[in-house]
Chains A and B, each alone.
Chain A
Amino acid sequence: MSVTLKYPFERREAPEEYRGAPVIDGDRCIGCGACSRACPPDAILVLDDMREGFRRVVLDVSRCIRCARCEEVCPTGALRLSREFELATPRKEDLVQVVKLRLARCVVCGNYCDFTVRQVEKALEIVPEDVREAARERISLCRACRRRLLGEDLANLSTGLWGGILGQEG
């Protein structure tokens, strides 16, 4: 039996287990950057625009080695390897996907934080219900305000969120 096909006139579909080109589902991506940290060849970059308030997750499929580590570490299932393998193109931009997400604003100073609005939503979804309200006012803080408020909290351990957490452990 012959195994040769008259490609590209005859085609063989890649099997369902196949690891093809990765694709990000922009609706599900929260911009956490876990994929970018796991990616061995740096095919995924996370770039923040602190002035305009956007995070860009840039996936360059031409650098991708199809290891699927990104798919494994993605907490929301936004990143999936497709079965696509015919990627030849004269324009390299065709192989780049950009997901643009809004950065969260600091509830104290109003500057942009180094995480996205969707990350805040996801975090609130995960934390236990009884501290959710307390967490809401502490999560959307830029680094500078967080550091300042943490100092104040520690100076006054008996009150606020920290008081609750430390009280449970102590």
Chain B
Amino acid sequence: MGAVKSKAGEVLEEVIRRLRYSVPVKGVKALGEGRAVVVVDRRFLRDAVLAFFKAFDGREPQLSSMVGIDESGRLGGDVYSITYWLSLNDGGSSDVLLGIRAYVRGDDPTFPSVADVIYGSNWYEREVRDLLGLKPVGHPDPRRLILPDDWPEGVYPLRKDFPYYESPSTEPKYEFKVVRDANVVPFGPYHVALDEPAHFRLYVRGEEIVEVDYRGFYSHRGIEKIAESRLTYNQVPFIAERICGICGFTHSTAYCQAVEAAAGIEVPERAEFIRTILLEIERIHSHLLWVGVACHLLGFDLGFMHVWRVREHVMWLAERLTGNRKTYGMNLIGGVRRDLLKYRVEAILKTVERVRREFKELVDMLTNTRSFVRRCEGVGVLTNALARKWCVVGPVARASGRKIDVRADHPYAAYGRLSFKVPVRSEGDVLARALVRIEEVFESLNIIEEALDTIPGGEIMADVRDLPEYSEGVGCTEAPRGENVHYVMTGPGNRVYRWRARASTYNNLPAARDMLVGYEVADAPLIVASIDPCYSCTERVIIVDVRRGSAKVLSRGEFERLSIRKSRRCA
């Protein structure tokens, strides 16, 4: 373990040395093994980020997060910082996470955009503009991203002088893309496939999708602001867990890891193992849920019901281990709240054995169902080159040939002490995404068994007192949907000064355009669902014929029937 860690330190030194060749570096702040922040003048911010991607092209460089901070509390005055968090992901031998930071002042809050080259930074840069008023110069699509259509210009909610309970409003406006000679198929905000609000505008010629526009963040709840304004550090894990109703535990884990890194808290090994076991239980339920939904979208409801029947045993297990089927509520800073008692271990082993046996039967059935395979094959392809430019994560990345997985590349919890495979496929289509997830279910079952075999005894919670002020840390986890990154800067009074939670779908969803263009309208629900996106609610679609100006409301059932009819043609 020690050897691996010092390797990360060496690689980090190399990274910083290479950066110094390209840009003048003002300062380096070490944040622990393989973690650091490099400060550059904002004029060189773009050059520094691009230099990182260019220099380490062979090591799967990744834009893992970007954080804008109102620094008035720490530095005083009208000062903001922008930090691009970049990682290398080549299987743990270079466990590096580097922040490239520039400071800007309120009278000229601009910085050079990298979104024309690193597509993945598109949303991040629009987000700091919306929430903090820091303006990316040269951004290819500088429209509003997060704030609602009726939010007034020039009001920035994440600035410290903005109170968390305010909610200003003005005349709503939003400009969608205009595409000539194409009809528009609005898709959502009430989402057909996954029952959560997001609005896709499909521009179509006949059946073919020629362009896509996206408007989301309808369920943006401002939880970072709430956490910074009125919660203490041990209250935040519970709101972090509610970021997602499917994979919430991985969020509370990432948050806790960020605070633990910032405060230098050693989590007891046993707690690390318990976190790992629960994270894998969560992944299994999440992947089974997804396989079921995918079957349903294809009109294969028998598959849907069977997969969810198997999944139910995982839910019951989680209920016994944590007190609830979902939102486990097990994490606090420093460890976990419930121990793995002996009878619980037996319950886990029994469920693992059952899920492995029953899911294997289902997978055999599914992969031998011609309509399933043919409907998913060659649809919604994301090439490896685009997957890298968009910085996609999780099964979406691994299905496009990117061998990245936080558990292997940046081992956290107990993953550094366990062995497992990272399934990768090269096709980049819906089928590849499905098969990667299916293989991961079996890997997760193995991880749980190995963790139960090797779990050490001892405490499950570290003794945590007051947090240091203005200390920063980053926590990364591999959620079922990919890399989650939580950044925390602690503040006075045992609160977080800045908390930036980045869910995996944030990196995957912007790439949906490149998966949809060129395919048919009937493929849209399946392709969007193949990302396994994580937003929240009910469903209804309107088809607008631009030339005739007429609108037709397409119910969820009708839209699904479109998809199901196409499956029949494939059979």
Contacts and interface: CB of A to CB of B under 8 A. Distances in A.
Contacts of A2: 309
A17 B231 contact: no
B253 to A, nearest CB: 15
Interface string A1-36: 111000000000011011100000000000000000
Given A3-B309, A3-B313, A40 B324 contact: no
A68 B372 CA distance: 44
A72 interface: yes
Given A40-B231, A40-B238, A68-B329, A3 B323 contact: no
A68 B323 contact: yes
Interface stretch (B314-322, B405-413, B484-492): B314-322
A66 interface: yes
A67 B329 contact: yes
B305 to A, nearest CB: 9
B41 interface: no
Nearest to A2: B309
A65 interface: yes
Contacts of B231: 40
Given A3-B312, A40-B231, A15 B238 contact: no
Contact of A17 (B235, B313, B322): B322
Interface string B213-240: 0000000000000000001001110110
A18 B327 CA distance: 12
A68 B321 CA distance: 14
Contacts of B329: 19, 66-68
Contacts of B417: none
Which of B235, B319, B327 counts the most A-chain CB atoms under 10 A from its CB? B235
Nearest to A16: B320
B460 to A, nearest CB: 13
A18 B318 CA distance: 10
Contact of B337 (A15, A65, A72): A72
Contact of B323 (A18, A38, A39, A65): A18
Contact-size category for B: 20 to 34
B309 A17 contact: no
A40 B239 contact: yes
Contacts of B234: 38, 69
Interface residues of A, number: 18
A21 to B, nearest CB: 13
A15 B317 CA distance: 10
Contact of B324 (A1, A19, A38): A19
Interface string B119-131: 0000000000000
A67 B323 CA distance: 9
B324 A66 contact: yes
Interface string B292-313: 0000000000000000010011
A19 B337 contact: no
Contacts of A1: 309
A17 B239 contact: no
Contact of B235 (A3, A40, A72): A40
B324 A65 contact: no
A67 B324 CA distance: 10
A17 B238 contact: no
Which of B234, B313, B329 counts the most A-chain CB atoms under 10 A from its CB? B329
Interface in A51-68: 65-68
Interface string A73-96: 000000001000000000000000
B235 A15 contact: no
A1 B358 CA distance: 11
A82 to B, nearest CB: 12
Nearest to B227: A40
A67 B238 contact: yes
Interface string A35-49: 000111000000000
A14 B319 CA distance: 9
A38 B309 CA distance: 37
A44 B337 CA distance: 21
Contacts of B321: 17
Contacts of A69: 234-235, 238
Contacts of B338: 17
Contacts of A67: 238, 329
A163 to B, nearest CB: 31
Given A40-B231, A40-B235, A68-B329, A15 B309 contact: no
Given A40-B239, A65-B238, A68-B329, A17 B320 contact: yes
Nearest to B354: A1
Which of B319, B324, B337, B338 counts the most A-chain CB atoms under 10 A from its CB? B324
A94 to B, nearest CB: 22
Given A3-B312, A40-B231, A40-B238, A17 B337 contact: no
Nearest to A15: B320
Which of A15, A40, A69, A72 counts the most B-chain CB atoms under 10 A from its CB? A40
11 contacts: A17-B319, A17-B322, A17-B338, A38-B235, A39-B235, A40-B235, A40-B236, A65-B238, A66-B324, A68-B323, A69-B238
Which 3 A/B pairs are nearest by Cβ-Cβ distance? A19-B323, A40-B235, A3-B312
Given A14-B319, A15-B320, A69-B235, 12 more contacts: A17-B321, A17-B323, A18-B319, A18-B324, A38-B234, A38-B235, A40-B239, A65-B242, A65-B327, A66-B329, A68-B337, A69-B234
Interface of A: 1-3, 14-15, 17-19, 38-40, 65-69, 72, 81
